[in-house]
Structure 1
Amino acid sequence: MRFNRMLLATTLVVVALVLQVSVLARLHLPGAVPDLMLLTVLGLALVYGHTGGALVGFGAGLLADLAPPADHAAGRYALVLCVIGYLAGLVKPDSGQLRSATGPMAVVVAAALGSTLLYAGVGALVGDTAAAHVGLGSLLFTATLYDLLLAPFVVPAIMALARRAEHDPLSESSSGSGKSSEVSTGWLSAGTSLRTGSLRIGSQRGGGLRSGGGMRIKSAKARVARSGRLKGVKRL
């Protein structure tokens, strides 16, 4: 990943983690907690593609695993977000622009369901049965509902920031100066060719007038006389 991508992704992930731990987790909503980290990874994966989405997802999940008050094994959420980021990056639009909100909303629903199921499955493998006590059906419904309500305010803004960071002002200015230099070079070469061409034409005209002016006038009179005889025009 390039430096501007890494810097933007790190900043957005840290801000999302702080908001989720300090604000969303303290709302004590029924069922699951709104997953701002998941929405951040989805927004970046839809711009960076599957490789960038997997890297951002792994880093974001590992940061969430290590940040207090983490109550699960380290690497569990990193695995979940790495897989989700990779799969979300596979549906990245070729043009980089989304034509409608149907596609991103479908991605959010699939990611909310998939991340909850994958997190519960990995927890069952390591002996964590918290999802079974809370109720997996309730977790799936509330996680999808909360993420859908939060997605229109998070995913488009993150995608816009990521696309804006993709443009390098220095490269654009250098390309613009290169074009202007090419244009100026073209103008200079065109002006030089015009000046040299005019000099050549002038020299040719001058030489013709000095060397063979009389011969040209005589040949012109002969052609006029010949055309007059052919057309039957009377000569005075």
Structure 2
Amino acid sequence: MRLNRILLSTALVVVALVIQVSVLSRLHLPGAVPDLLLLTVLALAMVYGHVGGALIGFGAGLLADLAPPADHAAGRYALVLCVIGYLAGLVKPETGRLRSASGPMAVVVVAALGSTLLYAGVGALVGDTAARHVGLSGLLFTAALYDLLLAPFVVPGIMALARRTDPDPLAEAGGASQGADISSGWLSSGTGLRIGDQRGALGGLKARARTRSVRVGRIKGVKRL
């Protein structure tokens, strides 16, 4: 990863973790806690791709595992966010631009459900059965609901900030080629001809004009005689 990506990702992850621990976790909402750290990883992964998403997810999850008041084994949430960041990065289009907001919102819902299930599954492997006592179905519903409500205020801003600080050359190249295609289509619209055909038609018109001028000259010469 580039240096500016590392610095921006680190700053955003630290801010998200501080807000989540000091504010969101103290709201005492029923069910799950709004996962601002997950939304930050998703937004960066959809801009930087699957490799960057996996690295950012692992670092963010490991920081959450070590930050107080963590009460679970270190590396558990790092594994979850690493997998989620990798899968979210696969959604990134080749041009680097998302055409609508429905795609990121669907990613948020799937990631909220997937991270809850994966976290509970890893916990079951290490002997943590807290999800069973709380109710897994309630956790899934509230996690998806809270993250979906919080996503419009977090994901677009982080994605815009990531693109502005680190513009994607593929997106710029895709925009330039798209502009060239639009301009060529605009030039050829209304005539039904392509640019090469238009040049050939112009050449034919010039040739006809020359033959007509030669004929006119001949006719004038005959009249003079």
How does the TM-score come out when normalised to structure 2?
A: 0.74
Q: Distance in 1 between matches of 2:2 and 2:101?
A: 28
**Relative to 1, partners in 2 of residues 1:232 and 1:119: Cα closer, same or farther, differing over 3 Å?**
closer
Q: Return the offset for 1:167.
A: 3.8
What is the percent sequence identity of the aligned residues?
A: 83
Q: Letter of the aligned partner of 1:83 in structure 2?
A: V
Q: Distance in 2 between matches of 1:90 and 1:102?
A: 16
Q: Letter of the aligned partner of 1:14 in structure 2?
A: V
Q: Letter of the aligned partner of 1:48 in structure 2?
A: Y
Q: Distance in 1 between matches of 2:224 and 2:66?
A: 109
Q: Distance in 1 between matches of 2:84 and 2:155?
A: 15
**Relative to 1, partners in 2 of residues 1:163 and 1:133: Cα closer, same or farther, differing over 3 Å?**
same
Residue in structure 2 matched with residue 133 of structure 1 by the alignment = 133
Q: Which runs of 5+ in 1 are unaligned?
A: 169-229
Q: Pairwise mapping of residues 1-236 of structure 1 onto structure 2 (< 5 A)?
A: 1-167=1-167
Q: Letter of the aligned partner of 2:14 in structure 1?
A: V
Q: Distance in 1 between matches of 2:79 and 2:16?
A: 18
How does the TM-score come out when normalised to structure 1?
A: 0.71
> Which ranges of 4 or more aligned residues in structure 1 deviate by more than 6 Å?
230-234
Q: Report the structure number with the largest CA radius of gyration.
A: 1
The worse-fitting range, judged by mean Cα deviation, of 6-15 and 87-96 is 87-96
Q: Distance in 1 between matches of 2:149 and 2:47?
A: 21
**Relative to 1, partners in 2 of residues 1:155 and 1:232: Cα closer, same or farther, differing over 3 Å?**
closer
Q: Distance in 1 between matches of 2:66 and 2:156?
A: 28
* Partner secondary structure for residue 131 of structure 2: helix
Matched length? 173
Q: Distance in 1 between matches of 2:224 and 2:113?
A: 100
Q: Letter of the aligned partner of 1:72 in structure 2?
A: H
Contact kept, 8 Å, 2:92 with 2:98, in 1: the verdict is no
Q: Distance in 1 between matches of 2:100 and 2:17?
A: 28
Q: Which runs of 5+ in 2 are unaligned?
A: 169-220
Q: Letter of the aligned partner of 1:128 in structure 2?
A: D
